[in-house]
Structure 1
Amino acid sequence: MTPSSPVRETPVLSPGPDSVEEAGLPTGAVAQTLGVSPTTVRSWERRYGIGPAHREAGHHRRWSPRDIAVLETMCHLTARGVPPAEAARAALAGRDAEDRDAPASGREPAPAAEHPGAGASGGRALRVGTVRPECRGLARAAVRLDAAETVRILRESIAALGVIEAWTEVMMPALRAAGRKWAVDGEQYVEVEHLLSWHVSSVLREAAIAALPATSTRPVLLAAGPGEQHTLPLEATAAALTERAIPFRMLGGAVPPRALLDAVHRIGPGVVMIWSQDHRTADRELARQVAAATWGPRGSRTGSLVVTAGPGWVRQGPPPGTFCPRTLQAAVDLLEGAARKPGHPVPR
């Protein structure tokens, strides 16, 4: 998704004291601050002319605040999927425009058009395969630990694609790539996976509570199985339900059996979704008890449809009387259909 209007880039390194303005910063310091390798900066300078506007023969390169602003624009554009050569032309064009406008007193350079998505950065790349450009940009931002860019891509992906497609085509491939990198390289990539997961969770929760519907529809009850701590898929489900104006109650991770059963009786949900990432947290007996739970006056007692979601249920199959969708799309469709029904009569 390409924004309809350009967004001005704000330099990470704001102009400092006069001494910094005059002396500038070395390449290593600039690269570290912007989250790219010095080798990448030097390569861009050699190939595309992205470098200090003024140099002195026999001296190391020194980057002025204006030079740094150009380089940061280059970083932002490549992080959003723009090919380096095109990004360099746009960044330099912005600097040239600033030079032309200089007599008009201190106006900032004209912003370059932005594009979402990118490949990952340098040797720390996350291999996301053939994916949408937004996913490549998300992976690259996570590797750079660029929180602002990560949140921007996540929010714009949800706004442009909807929760289900954003989860399936943008968030999940990036999360899986970070998990694979962590598994292979150990602690080196824990910070990337943690930052990405935290912001995915934050943006999904933001979407889920943005407009909680107040309807007469019976709510969907969302819970992770006993001992299950992985809740991102539940949060994606909640956000997708909000998008469809379906009310929900989120109990989160590691819900004990007694607590879940109590919640079922107190809320009277139209459908209960129990998430399990691992087969050890897929409690078949609990699912059976939830499916058998009923409430209401004698002769018109009702119960909940039970959805057992997640890879933890796949090995042993869904318990009798429950449904086990394999995708977020299928799960949300099922939850919506069940929630909008008046109830599930249970003969007693």
Structure 2
Amino acid sequence: MSEPAHAGGTVDDIADGIKDEPGATAGVSTGTAARRLGVSPITLRSWDRRYGIGPARQDGRHRRWTPADLAVLDVMCRLTAAGVPPAEAARAARERRGGPPPPPVPVPEESAPSVRRPGSGPELPLGDVRLECRGLSRAALRLDAPVVDELLTSFVEEYGLVRAWEDLMMPTLRAVGRRWASAGDKYVEVEHLLSWHVSSALRRVPAAPPARTGAGPVLLACVPGEQHTLPIEALTAALAERGLPTRMFGAAVPATALDEAARRTGPRAVVLWSQSRSTASRPLARHIAAGSWGVRGARGSAEVMLAGPGWAGPPVPGLSRPHGLRDALATLTRLYGTEHEGRPPCPPHVALPTSW
């Protein structure tokens, strides 16, 4: 996937990007505009009241933001993020509405060293993603925790857990990771803040009443040495949303602890997460798959699922390897035979080949 020259996209990209979306010709609500730009609705209303950065058209009493209005707001967001005072940024944004992009806003000489050139503020290398994803990245870069939390909650409510993870949470997390890797520890605080709030949003997803099944739970754990837990947190939340029993053990679970957990819980399935090949242990996976528990004559074993990019390479015979959250969720749901019991369906979606 290629990335645009400027990772945040131009103002024309922002306007063009929503022309084909539902309701684009009539405009979008203030809440939707705020999500796409990574600011709070209160901020948009304040800008409208103080600086006249408001919708060009009204629908009754409700503000409706057209593609042109969003392009103006994007200029305002970029300039204020670059350190330009809001009043000056608003003037430049209003000028943009009537013609070509405005010239750089003058900056007092004494403050010039601490202010970036307008439009050159930090952006994440997102590539071709939803506009809401760009809004989330901007809020994360500002370390605006309340807005990050508000955006993540609204994404799950509007799109559902699976789609919110695949289309919005994961692309932004990947972009933060790439920026961190290329800039040393400069953006580690952004990655930590975003990860914390993604984890919090996943845990807030309501669980359904327990499914009627006598089978053991799904045991989810990171293999020894693996610290990345967010993908299996997403899977745990999606399973709970469908009423399926889970036992989530988190990061870097020792091999002996995995054995003990399987013996004590008698799981229907075991999901082993590995982010990198350095942590993926095929002997451990085969050992867990070979285990059995229960009383003599009625001993059971678990389906073992190898999840995450660390397991790339030749398949392990008898062990499944899902291509992403959607695939893992569908496979585990089938194990319990609950596809048609009124649980939230796994929505149709066109995504990347691997959506972890």
TM-score between both structures, scaled by the size of structure 2: 0.64
For 2:328, the equivalent position in structure 1 comes to: 331
Q: Which amino acid aligns with 1:9?
A: I
CA 1:311/1:179 → structure 2, altered by over 3 Å: closer, same or farther? same
Residue number among 42, 45, 65 corresponding to 1:9 in the alignment: 42
Aligned length: 252
Is it true that 1:278 corresponds to 2:276 in the alignment? yes
> Residues of 1 paired with 2:146 and 2:80: CA distance?
13
CA 1:268/1:187 → structure 2, altered by over 3 Å: closer, same or farther? same
SS in structure 1 of the partner of residue 204 of structure 2 = helix
Deviation at 1:228, TM superposition (A): 0.6
CA 1:214/1:229 → structure 2, altered by over 3 Å: closer, same or farther? same
SS in structure 2 of the partner of residue 166 of structure 1 = helix
Is it true that 1:200 corresponds to 2:198 in the alignment? yes
Instruction: Write out the 4+ residue segments of structure 1 that deviate beyond 4 Å after TM superposition.
Output: 1-8
For 2:131, the equivalent position in structure 1 comes to: 133
CA 1:225/1:301 → structure 2, altered by over 3 Å: closer, same or farther? same
Instruction: Work out whether residues 212 and 247 of structure 1, in 8 Å CA contact, stay in contact via their aligned partners in 2.
Output: no
> Residues of 1 paired with 2:29 and 2:222: CA distance?
37
> Residues of 2 paired with 1:301 and 1:264: CA distance?
12
Tell me the percent identity.
Answer: 47
CA 1:167/1:3 → structure 2, altered by over 3 Å: closer, same or farther? farther
Is it true that 1:183 corresponds to 2:181 in the alignment? yes
For 2:229, the equivalent position in structure 1 comes to: 231
CA 1:4/1:339 → structure 2, altered by over 3 Å: closer, same or farther? farther
Structure 2 counterparts to residues 240-319 of structure 1, below 5 A:
240-315=238-313, 317-319=314-316
> Residues of 1 paired with 2:294 and 2:189: CA distance?
49
Q: Which amino acid aligns with 1:214?
A: P
Instruction: Work out whether residues 272 and 304 of structure 1, in 8 Å CA contact, stay in contact via their aligned partners in 2.
Output: yes
> Residues of 1 paired with 2:30 and 2:289: CA distance?
48
> Residues of 2 paired with 1:200 and 1:194: CA distance?
10
Instruction: Work out whether residues 295 and 302 of structure 1, in 8 Å CA contact, stay in contact via their aligned partners in 2.
Output: yes
**Gapped regions of structure 1 (runs ≥ 5):** 14-30, 51-83, 87-120, 342-348
The structure carrying a bigger helix percent of its residues is 1
Instruction: Work out whether residues 205 and 239 of structure 1, in 8 Å CA contact, stay in contact via their aligned partners in 2.
Output: yes
SS in structure 2 of the partner of residue 303 of structure 1 = coil
TM-score between both structures, scaled by the size of structure 1: 0.65
Q: Which amino acid aligns with 1:307?
A: M
**Gapped regions of structure 2 (runs ≥ 5):** 1-21, 23-27, 33-39, 47-75, 99-118, 339-356
Q: Deviations over 1:272-329 (max 9, x none)?
A: 10000111211212211211112234444321100011111113x3322210111111
Q: Which has the larger radius of gyration?
A: 1
For 2:84, the equivalent position in structure 1 comes to: 39
Deviation at 1:340, TM superposition (A): 3.8
